[in-house]
Amino acid sequence: MSGDLNGLIKAQAYGLGFDLVGLTTLGPVDTATANDEWLARGFAGDMEYLHRGAGKRRDTTLPFAGAVSAIVVGLDYGGRAPPGPVARYARGDDYHDVMERKLGELHEWIEAAVGHDVAGKPYVDTGPILERDLARRAGLGWFGKNTNLIHPKLGSFFFIGALLIDLDVAADPPFEADRCGTCTRCIEACPTEALVEPRVLDANRCISYLTIEAKGEIPEEFRQSTGSLIYGCDICQDVCPWNVRFAREPKVPEFAPRTVLASNDARTIAQTILAMNDDQFREAFKGSPMKRAKLRGLKRNAAVVLGNIG
């Protein structure tokens, strides 16, 4: 039944709209030591939550007691959409909500399929789980030099989620190959030199971190390099040959740009944000991942962008 269930789960997950599905067992994390070293080097910036959850991130059996397997999924968000001042992933509805809803439906289907309760919990960037590591173990891709997971027929413009369950299922083989070869386009393209070595990102220098997670002022040394980017950055993905070849057109309705971002014009969006009050912000960005930066963070970013573009 375990082997048959693997195929049935995948078929159902694809039916729910996921683009990638793989199953794996839980246990010690292959990249735990590398993650600890990354934290020790101070590359997490002010993201203290990464330090607090470091212990549980070393073993995927720890975050959800009793779990023995993970169903790992990928959902494409449209790398062929035009580049713009807001990273593609953040232009529509919050991916956490979309992914968790779909994983919840998959969980309900599994319980109906096996005929009994199955304890489970979805994770979409929402707990002490290294989803990227689970995804590689489940066969969904390899770690690119830009630190993103890359699938050989999809590129890297996809969200990763995992459903941890207390049910034994047949595991898929891990993705062992490294298909980046000698390519270093992502490292060379980063305007702030945030990729300090292959597969090592210094968040303190990363435009995504500086425009989303960082709470204070953007350091002066990075302001000009931020260019016209108001929220997030896709540069290291845009230059990746796997995305140049395999990135797809947007297809998920929930990820279509909301009205305030429809122009995809840095000046228009920056001026709109600077003119917003709190109520207008809540209305414009209801259900958006951009709420994470709060209005003061978006206004900070908008001011930097207008200073850059004149």
**Residue from 97, 125, 178, 278 carrying the catalytic annotation:** 125
Instruction: Round to whole Å and give the CA distance between 144 and 232.
Output: 19
Instruction: Round to whole Å and give the CA distance between 87 and 223.
Output: 17
Closest residue by Cα to residue 29 from 141, 133, 164, 140? 133
Query: What CA–CA distances, in Å, run from 241 to 182, 183, 196?
Result: 12, 9, 20
Q: Is residue 164 within 8 Å of residue 70, measured between CB atoms?
A: yes
Query: What CA–CA distances, in Å, run from 172 to 10, 28, 112, 135, 231?
Result: 11, 17, 23, 11, 36
Closest residue by Cα to residue 77 from 157, 169, 163, 180? 157
Active site residue 94: no
Q: Produce one character per residue of 14-28: b if its CB has 16 or more CB atoms within 10 Å, e if not.
A: eebebbbbbbbebee
182 Rama class: left (phi>0) / alpha (psi -120 to 50) / beta: alpha
Closest residue by Cα to residue 180 from 153, 146, 138, 224? 146
Q: Please name every residue paired with 73 in a beta bridge, in sequence order, or none if there are none.
A: 21, 161
Give catalytic residue positions: 125
